[in-house]
Amino acid sequence: MRVTNLAIMTFLKGAIPPRGVLEWTLMVKKQLFQKTTAWLRTLEKLFVILDALVLHQ
């Protein structure tokens, strides 16, 4: 929902590059996906550390 609002706002401001809305949307989705996967990797590392700490007690 928030991504759609952001897209609409930037569209109204004319911030979308001339190559097209579809490419711009895909770019935004790709960036969001990369941020999400980075966050999940960090979370995974934390779980590995916690697991190691619990096992070594």
Cβ pair 7, 25 in contact under 8 A:
yes
What is the structure's pLDDT at 13?
65
pTM passes above 0.85: no
pLDDT digits (tens, 9 = 90+) for 4-44: 776 676 666 665 556 677 787 888 888 888 888 888 899 99
The structural domains of the chain, with segments of one domain joined by +, span 2-55
Cβ pair 28, 8 in contact under 8 A:
no
